[in-house]
Amino acid sequence: MRFVRGKPQIIINIKVIRRTPTKRPFVRKGPLTRINEQIRVPQIRVIDDAGNQLGVMEPSAALQLAHEQALDLVEIAPIAKPPVCKIMDYGKYQYQQSKIDRVNRDKQKKIDTKGIRIGFKTDVHDLLVKQTMAEKFLKKGQKVKIEIFLRGREKAHQDLARKNLGNFMKTITIPFKIEQEIKRYPGGFNIVITPE
């Protein structure tokens, strides 16, 4: 509080916090298909809705044909010379493309990576259990990431940790190939193996 000419005055300090404007990165959600007025090339090859070729013409003439049929002019092969455009219903085209993408996604083989962790002082019986788990995962065709984690003073004995991880790898009876060699990470070492 401050007194000016005998009257109390209250001073309030307001700190203005300014946020720096951050722009979100532009992420394209798949291939961009140009339609109607977006097609800006001098010549295009035009196909009608039935699949008949109408020949090479200017985009304005093809657009006029599309509007007469109450359809859209869609660029289906932008890399071709001249680009190939088809007169069709764009909504139907998008629906068919989404169906094709969904079928392709379902056909993709999904490979899971399973993780197995062993410690520096893991007992022999526990290692046997981990070994059978690793073999079970390899039989199913899954990748296996085997980690040996180090705590405290164990981090000083990295050579022993590598040796223990190598010894554990030798116990696995199912044939496998090493996808990623023994690599250091903050908690210890890891290796990724896949079935042959």
119 and 91, same domain (yes or no): no
57 and 82, same domain (yes or no): yes
CATH of the domain at 118: 3.30.110.10
90 and 124, same domain (yes or no): no
Please calculate the CA angle 166-172-177 and round it to the nearest 5 degrees.
75
Confirm whether 41 is domain-assigned: yes
* 68 phi and psi angles, rounded to 5 deg: -65, -35
pLDDT tens track of the chain, all 196 residues? Answer: 566 666 766 666 666 666 666 667 666 665 577 888 888 888 999 998 888 888 898 988 989 888 888 898 888 888 888 899 999 888 888 898 899 988 988 887 777 888 999 988 888 899 999 999 999 999 988 899 999 988 888 888 888 888 888 889 899 998 888 888 888 888 888 899 998 8
pTM recorded for the entire structure: 0.48
Residue 153 has, within 13 A of its CA and on its CB side, a CA count of: 0
144 and 83, same domain (yes or no): no
Confirm whether 28 is domain-assigned: no
Confirm whether 59 is domain-assigned: yes
- Look at the chain and report how many structural domains it folds into: 2
Partner residues linked to 185 by β-bridges: 188
Q: Which of 99, 121, 154 is the last residue of a domain?
A: 99
191 and 126, same domain (yes or no): yes
Count of beta carbons in the 10 Å neighbourhood of residue 87: 21
Q: Are strands 84-88 and 44-47 parallel, antiparallel or unpaired?
A: parallel
Is 156:193 a contact under the CB 8 Å cutoff?
A: no
Confirm whether 2 is domain-assigned: no
118 and 93, same domain (yes or no): no
pLDDT for 22: 67
pLDDT for 27: 63
- Where does residue 34 rank: exposed (0-12), middle (13-18), buried (19+ CB within 10 A)? middle
Is 77:95 a contact under the CB 8 Å cutoff?
A: no
What is the residue range of 168's domain?
A: 113-195
162 and 94, same domain (yes or no): no
pLDDT for 2: 62
